[in-house]
Amino acid sequence: MSEETKSFEPTIIGFTCNWCSYRAADMAGTARMKYAPNVRLIRLMCSGRLDPTFVFKAFANGADGVLVSGCHPGDCHYINQNYKMLRRFHLMKRVLAQMGIEPERIKLLWASAAEGAIFAEEVNKFVEQVRALGPLNWHPGNGAASTVHTPMSAEEVPA
Amino acid sequence: MSDEKKPQERVGVYVCHCGTNIAGVVNVAEVSEWAGREMAKEGVVVARDYKFMCSSLGQELIQKDIKEHGLTRVVVAACSPHLHEKTFRTACNGGGLNPYLCELVSIREQVSWVHTDKSAATEKAKAIVAGGVRRVVHHEPLEPLHVPIHPATLVVGGGIAGIQAALEIAEAGYPVYLVEREPTIGGHMAQFDKTFPTLDCSACILTPKMVDAGNHPNITLLTYSEVEKVDGYVGNFVVTIRKRARSVNEELCTGCGICWEKCPKKVIDDKFEAGLGYRKAVYVPFPQAVPKYPVIDRENCTYYQKGTCKACEKFCPTGAIDFAQEDQVMTVEVGNILLATGWQLFDARKIPNYGYGRLANVFTSLEFERLSNAAGPTGGNIVLRDGKTVPKSVAIVHCVGSRDKNYNNYCSAICCMQSLKFAHLVKEKTGATVYNFYIDIRTPGKGYDEFYQRLIEEGTLFVRGKVAEITDAARNPGEEGKLIVQVEDTLVGKQRRIPVDMVILSAGLEPQPDAKEVAKKFGISCSADGFYIERHPKLDPVATMTEGIYLAGCVQGPKDIPSSVAQGAAAAARIVGKIQQKEIALEPVRATVNQEQCSGCRICNNLCPFNAILFHEDRMVSEVNPALCQGCGTCVAACPAGAISGTGFSNEQILSQIEGLLMLNLSSKEAAAA
Amino acid sequence: MSKPKFAMYWAASCGGCEIAVLNIHEKILDVDANFEVVFWPVAMDAKYKDVEAMEDGSILLTLFNGGIRNDENEHIAKLLRKKSQILVAFGSCACEGCIPGLANFSPIQQVVDTAFSTVSTDNPENVRPQPSYDMPEGTIHIPTLYPVLRTLDQVVDVDYYMPGCPPESHQIAAVIDLVIQVLQGKAQLPPKGSVIGAGGSTVCDECKRKRNEKTIKEFGRIQLMHADPELCLLEQGIPCNGPATRSGCNARCPSAGAQCIGCYGPAEGVVDYGARLVSAFASVIDSNDPAEIDRILDGLVDPAGQFYRFNLAGSLLRAAKPAWKSGD
């Protein structure tokens, strides 16, 4: 790990389900389990509410990683809505990859209300995973406005 | 999102110390000062920190500010919304502000309790407050949705907890469906001999309640039945129940008992008699069973297996035997559901060194209950597996499968008292020497420790130590033909080998084997060990996170009879209270389709598991039925036209919260870049 | 009394928008009758310095098409903003980047290389344009490319948006009618920031194809299959962007047997057009098995291209990382 990534504190936005993963986070708290302070949670009623817009927004606004969590497959409080999120997650990941966002910056975590320990442990792992990638620091707007590009001299021609 | 927006809302921010729970890690004063200063352009007009926001003084503080500062939005940074969201909403309401204009953000469970670095925790708390402030300005005043509550209740499980609850609700004048998987109600308590610490006969106190439940005009007893499906929601559940074929016509049967007298097929009864006795292929589990009608066990009945016999049919004086009877599937409508599905005994075979199943005279606690029970297979004589030898020495091993990280971490709560009861019964009936092998003696109930003292006085021996092995491999002549209990006596600090004639394993209580599937069926959560999760471990042990579904008895965790009865009664009181309110106010978190914007593309149509989305062919638009919508928001997220909005969790609210959560991040990154 | 002034400009665009304006046929005469055209490089001769000399706010209406690709585009966008009372982002490029915005997937180096070295390019010496070049007569300049193409409203304040690639002529005619009516005091302008010349729903609203509840087992490419002419294309597994695309075109493409590719942009209030499609398409995939979901998704050969063909520059992320990184 480079010096830069060692001192780098990633910011992670986490989307949680009201019934399972948010409660897992509550449980981690009640049990005073310790985990990295890099994740900031948003509560949704269900992971099925996860709109890819939220994930794009988080990255666009400076998040280095996004955690998406829901009830275990088959355990959805709303019967099967977590599967709809699962499908979106797969497609979203492909689009993000095309946008140049490493797949390791987005994580899907199934966590039940009882799994505070798993939640804490997985958050820690994810923070380290994102830390290793370094900052994302998304800034297309600034890039265009402040840095005027100078086209380069002739180089070899691709076939 | 629009940059030119002027704050139109007047936001109050309240940062709770929670004593030192939050203030010990988060610099609450810094957070509130920061919010007052930096979030002023976002509309924050007041920001305070206070020792206990949930106290009446804390709540009054908010109410006063609403009036004096004309607050239109409130953000409280404190504990999880699952704990105090209602408190602060109610406080806002009391101050004249619509309760849904308040947002509670968690800086305790999500910050102070899980982080140690004070400055990082303080920065995170600021970000969370910023997220809350950005979010709350997009809140809309809402009114809760009122839905009627069906007066009937479904009680699942006819053990003592379920019976108690069913009787309480029925007595209050409301209909109850009591569903039991076995042919009779009564549960495990019907198997017990005596109950601790008073030593009343278990059947004597249970069977009158069973009869009351069977006869009560408000109770519909559905034994030998199981719940197949649960549809609907609080106040309006539709439950599908499969009533398995008894092969006995209940209209005609008088319960006279001739059929099981005449039935030629004997079957080992591993349910009620714990494998120690026999029953017939047509049987009632025990004489006082409720209902009194037998069932034919088709797996073991000669007629069903071989096509001939029909002895029962021949002798039945009322012609009640019906070999062609089929399962009946029925649906019932209920407003509330109580789960009292109980427990199963830890399988002692899982601990091979205790020899259960291999060493004949190692018994489980349930087997001992049947041995000691006057109505049991030995007529109440405590004898070895040979059926005649009375033991001269008996070892009772505590914590079998409990308080053991190899099996179950939890304490099964009843084993100490149960073991003491066994010791007393052995002593009383046989005069044998009794050893109790225990890790700790836990006797925290009323009259419990007195019972323990009594046992000590009776001369029961107590050895503190976890039993390592039970073996029949004798090392010296004194051990020949005996079971030897190998244990480290931790009070003396010595290994001991104690030869005995009989060993009773006080096996722990476990969730039912299908607890997870049942939880799924009812849409509630199961903890890792398989017991169901209550709404709050201290303050709300009878409700679940799913509105309208309640718990009683060991389904929620191991407990003794008095606690099960108390919980059954408490759940019943809660349910009766709900029924009497006639309607329930539900969170107004619902999806709505903007009819102008909807193009009728039908993407959303099959996304709703509650069938809340209808498509109008004539107008070519989709619509959400708010009575069926559960507010998950899946359709909101899926609508390609952005035509569906979800109250409470709108796009604006969530996107703004993201902006807020990352606000600090951006400014610090920009500051670092500058 | 002099007539109100009208301007139209093209930045990074193809010229299709200008043709669409001319395509309103005799209605173009109304423009001439009601406006004095002061600046319209494709149609008449004018110099930037003439515009610079105008009083601020002296142009009543400017239709600006094209994205902001270089410093010239940015300069003129800022200039016209200053001189115009009403600035309309006209056409998909100005609104959301459109096809030129697809360059935001690649580093600028690669974009330039592609433009100057493809098989069809006659460039034997492999020359590249230079922003300035010293000649005996002095130094000459050409516009400098930016690493990332931006939409008009990412550079200046925009009053109205008129989507489409290009905007449909009947919609242009209707907007011109509206402006004339406003001039005559017979109508009022919609609130600032509104989308004009388009519908309030999505393409499906105008599409005549039959549709059912949707489940997708397989995505396919329209050229490789025999699509049922009556049935909703998406239900046949053809990735039709119609459900997410603003109405107003009379469902031109689906009516002609081709899938909607999304040129009218997002529906009212939508923050990110592509995200809507990601969510909608994925939600109706008929599988709960991760491996099968992936197999079905393999049928979408270029998801980001599919979902952001017209909207990349106007999306939340605006550009792929290699593109904006090339500006660092």
Sheet holding B502-507, edge to edge: B362-364, B502-507, B393-400, B433-438, B461-464
**Smallest CA–CA separation between A87 and chain C, in Å?**
5
CA B37, CA B31: separation in Å to the nearest integer?
10
What is the count of residue pairs from A and B with beta carbons less than 8 Å apart? 151
pLDDT grade, residue B208 (50/70/90)? very high
Domain B146-244+327-342+512-580 has CATH 3.30.70.20: no
CA C207, CA C238: separation in Å to the nearest integer?
15
Q: Give the pLDDT confidence score for residue B627 in this predicted structure.
A: 77
Q: Which domain holds residue A96?
A: 10-134
- In this predicted structure, the answer to whether residue B551 has a pLDDT above a threshold of 90 is yes
Identify whether residues C176 and C231 lie together within a single domain.
no
pLDDT tens for each residue of B193-206: 999 999 999 999 99
Q: Which residues of A touch B533 (CB under 8 A)?
A: 113-114
Write the CB contacts of A142 (distance below 8 Å, at least 6 apart in sequence).
none
Tokens representing B218? 């408000």
Crossing angle of helices A52-60 and A81-98, in 10° steps, is 40
CA C308, CA C104: separation in Å to the nearest integer?
11
Q: Give the pLDDT confidence score for residue B6 in this predicted structure.
A: 59
Mean pLDDT of chain B: 94
Instruction: Report whether the peptide linkage leading into residue C147 is cis, meaning its omega lies within 30 degrees of zero.
Output: no
Tokens representing B572? 């019943």
Tokens representing B288? 């006082």
Tell me whether B255 touches chain C (CB under 8 Å): no
Identify whether residues C60 and C177 lie together within a single domain.
yes
Amino acid at C77: A
Tell me whether C268 touches chain B (CB under 8 Å): yes
Tell me whether A93 touches chain C (CB under 8 Å): no
CA B635, CA B593: separation in Å to the nearest integer?
10
Write the CB contacts of C134 (distance below 8 Å, at least 6 apart in sequence).
none
Is A5 part of any domain? no
CA A127, CA B224: separation in Å to the nearest integer?
52
Alpha helices in B336-469 (DSSP H): 365-372, 415-430, 448-458
Of B234, B235, B231, B240, whose CA–CA distance to B177 is shortest? B240
pLDDT tens for each residue of C125-179: 888 888 888 999 999 999 989 999 999 999 999 999 999 999 999 999 999 999 9
Q: Give the pLDDT confidence score for residue B233 in this predicted structure.
A: 85
Is C315 part of any domain? no
Return the CATH number at A16.
Answer: 3.40.50
Could you tell me the residue ranges of all domains in chain B? 11-143, 146-244+327-342+512-580, 245-325, 345-510
Largest CA distance in chain B: 98
Is A78 part of any domain? yes
Classified as helix, coil or strand, C260 is coil
Q: Give the pLDDT confidence score for residue A159 in this predicted structure.
A: 35
Is A79 part of any domain? yes
Q: Span A91-103, mean pLDDT? A: 97
**Smallest CA–CA separation between A42 and chain B, in Å?**
8
Q: Give the pLDDT confidence score for residue B527 in this predicted structure.
A: 84
CATH topology of domain B11-143: Rossmann fold (3.40.50)
Pair type for strands B433-438 and B461-464:
parallel
Q: Give the pLDDT confidence score for residue B524 in this predicted structure.
A: 85
Tokens representing C169? 């002529």
Question: Contact at 8 Å (CB) between B149 and B235?
Answer: yes
Question: What are the Cα distances from residue B208, in Å, to B23, B288, C21?
Answer: 56, 10, 91
Is A54 part of any domain? yes
- In this predicted structure, the answer to whether residue C215 has a pLDDT above a threshold of 80 is yes
CA B172, CA B170: separation in Å to the nearest integer?
5
Q: What percent of chain C has pLDDT over 90?
A: 88
Identify whether residues C227 and C179 lie together within a single domain.
no
pTM of the model: 0.78
Question: Contact at 8 Å (CB) between B603 and C280?
Answer: yes
Q: Span C75-99, mean pLDDT? A: 97
Class level of CATH domain B345-510: alpha beta
B46 vs B6, residue with greater confidence: B46
Is C18 part of any domain? yes
Question: Contact at 8 Å (CB) between B227 and B179?
Answer: yes
Q: What percent of chain B has pLDDT over 70?
A: 97
CA C212, CA C252: separation in Å to the nearest integer?
21
Provide Rg for chain A, Cα atoms: 18
Question: Contact at 8 Å (CB) between C311 and C274?
Answer: yes
Q: Give the pLDDT confidence score for residue C118 in this predicted structure.
A: 82
What is the count of residue pairs from A and C with beta carbons less than 8 Å apart? 154
Write the CB contacts of C170 (distance below 8 Å, at least 6 apart in sequence).
none
- In this predicted structure, the answer to whether residue A151 has a pLDDT above a threshold of 80 is no
Q: Give the pLDDT confidence score for residue B286 in this predicted structure.
A: 95
pLDDT grade, residue B27 (50/70/90)? very high
User: Across the interface, which of B600, B615, B640 has its CB nearest the CB of C280?
Assistant: B640
Provide Rg for chain B, Cα atoms: 31
Identify whether residues C61 and C167 lie together within a single domain.
yes
pLDDT tens for each residue of C245-293: 999 999 999 999 999 999 999 999 999 999 999 999 999 999 999 999 9
Tell me whether A120 touches chain B (CB under 8 Å): yes
Return the CATH number at C91.
Answer: 3.40.50.700
- Cβ of B654 within 8 Å of Cβ of A42? The answer is yes
- Cα–chain center distance at A76: 21
Identify whether residues C171 and C276 lie together within a single domain.
no
Q: Give the pLDDT confidence score for residue A152 in this predicted structure.
A: 41
Alpha helices in B273-387 (DSSP H): 302-306, 311-315, 365-372
pLDDT tens for each residue of B129-161: 999 999 999 999 999 988 899 999 999 999 999
Identify whether residues C215 and C179 lie together within a single domain.
no
Q: Give the pLDDT confidence score for residue B666 in this predicted structure.
A: 55
Classified as helix, coil or strand, A9 is coil
Q: Which domain holds residue C236?
A: 203-308
CA B336, CA B320: separation in Å to the nearest integer?
35
pLDDT grade, residue A4 (50/70/90)? low
Identify whether residues C175 and C295 lie together within a single domain.
no
Number of structural domains found in chain A = 1
**Smallest CA–CA separation between A93 and chain B, in Å?**
17
- In this predicted structure, the answer to whether residue B674 has a pLDDT above a threshold of 50 is no
B154 strand-pairing partners: B177, B337
Is C236 part of any domain? yes
pLDDT grade, residue B231 (50/70/90)? confident
Write the CB contacts of C210 (distance below 8 Å, at least 6 apart in sequence).
C230, C231, C232
pLDDT tens for each residue of A33-68: 999 999 999 999 999 999 999 999 999 999 999 999
B437 strand-pairing partners: B397, B463
Q: Give the pLDDT confidence score for residue B579 in this predicted structure.
A: 97
pLDDT tens for each residue of B559-587: 999 999 999 999 999 999 999 999 988 88
Number of structural domains found in chain C = 2
User: Number of C-alpha atoms within 13 angstroms, CB side, residue A95?
Assistant: 34
pLDDT grade, residue B5 (50/70/90)? low
CA B201, CA B217: separation in Å to the nearest integer?
28
Of B133, B126, B32, whose CA–CA distance to B665 is shortest? B126
pLDDT tens for each residue of B311-350: 999 999 999 999 999 999 999 999 999 999 999 999 999 9
Tell me whether B308 touches chain C (CB under 8 Å): no
Domain B245-325, CATH: 3.30.70
Residue C60: in which H helix or E strand, if any?
A: strand C59-65
Using CA of residue B177, residue B183, residue B186, residue B189, what is the dihedral sign? Answer: negative
Question: Contact at 8 Å (CB) between B435 and B498?
Answer: yes
What are φ and ψ of residue A13, in 5° steps? -100, 130
Q: Which residue has the tokens 């180089």?
A: A155
Q: B245-325: same fold as B11-143?
A: no
Q: Span B538-559, mean pLDDT? A: 93
Q: Give the pLDDT confidence score for residue A146 in this predicted structure.
A: 38
Question: Contact at 8 Å (CB) between C284 and B614?
Answer: no
Is C143 part of any domain? no
- Secondary structure (DSSP) of A12-42: EEEEEETTTHHHHHHHHHHTT----TTEEEE
- Cβ of C144 within 8 Å of Cβ of A148? The answer is yes
Q: Which residues of A touch B104 (CB under 8 A)?
A: none
Q: Give the pLDDT confidence score for residue A156 in this predicted structure.
A: 36
